[in-house]
Structure 1
Amino acid sequence: MQANVKWVEGDTFIGLSNSGHNVVFDAGSDSAAPSPMEMVLMSAGCCSSVDVVSILKKAKQSFSDVQVKLTAERAESAPRVFTKINLHFVVTGNDVSEKHLARAVQLSAEKYCSVALMLDKTVEITHSHEVVQEQVK
């Protein structure tokens, strides 16, 4: 895997992935785009969400929405690394099994999510989840 990051101006950079996709980063106070640390946090959430969705589909669960709410704490001084991350999954659907969701989150955390497993070497990562019954329209 390869990538390229190019400085644009100020604290703004554009990353180009090997697959040809551009991503804007902003490391300053301008907030023109997510910071590199925000991207790492969102990457952990996306990676784990891919696993959870795949596992729930294989378990034939009827769901219409999957969200992961990420919270993180960082060290007070430089380097301001993550010290804690929680991934809270909220799955909306029709009779989604709590047991299946718990298993999907566990498998992602322990076996499949390469981003979170890599971060887990130095960050305390926790997971939680909830099922929201879909409202009948």
Structure 2
Amino acid sequence: MDFYLKEGGIRTSFEYGELEISGDETYGFRPFQLMVASVAGCSLGVYRKILDKQRINYEDIKVSADIERNPEEANRITRINLHFVVKGYRLNQDKLLKNLEISKKNCSMVQSVLYSIKVEETLESIELSK
């Protein structure tokens, strides 16, 4: 990966497209946003793969991220709470929770920050009627 200085930030390119990074949101994504997006995106992606592999019938999954930062330590991220909302038919809450634990153990981004950021996951299931 190569990163280049630009006015107000940094630019990099990937196969999918360009990414603009900056501490100022008017010039690009802030680094902490990218960190949280990486953890949440990886966690949701692994969770979806597990549910699909087990043929669990869901209509939608949303993850909301709530973060805490410590301004006394370079404003570092100290905690990320990922709240999963699974919508579907005939959902088994215990199975959904067990699979969430499995996804946490298999998400490379969660495992990468394991000893520096507390990652908590909560789950809510919404039963849809036909």
TM-score by length of structure 1 reads 0.85
1:33 deviates by 3.1
The amino acid that maps onto 1:23 is L
The separation in 2 between residues aligned to 1:122 and 1:71, in whole angstroms, is 16
1:4 and 2:2 are equivalent in the alignment: yes
| Matching residue of 1:21 | 17
Identify unmatched segments of 5+ residues in structure 1.
none
1:20 deviates by 5.6
The separation in 1 between residues aligned to 2:63 and 2:120, in whole angstroms, is 12
The separation in 1 between residues aligned to 2:38 and 2:70, in whole angstroms, is 19
Report % sequence identity: 22
The separation in 2 between residues aligned to 1:73 and 1:37, in whole angstroms, is 11
1:135 deviates by 4.8
Identify unmatched segments of 5+ residues in structure 2.
none
Q: CA RMSD in A?
A: 1.7
1:99 and 2:124 are equivalent in the alignment: no
Map Cα deviations across residues 74-131 of structure 1 (whole Å, 9 max, x no partner).
Answer: 111242211111111111111122122101210111x211111111111111110011
The separation in 2 between residues aligned to 1:89 and 1:6, in whole angstroms, is 35
| Matching residue of 1:64 | 59
Return the match for 1:39 from 11, 23, 34: 34
Ranges of 4+ aligned residues in structure 1 off by more than 4 Å: none
1:39 deviates by 0.5
1:31 deviates by 3.2
TM-score by length of structure 2 reads 0.89
SS in 1 for 2:2: strand
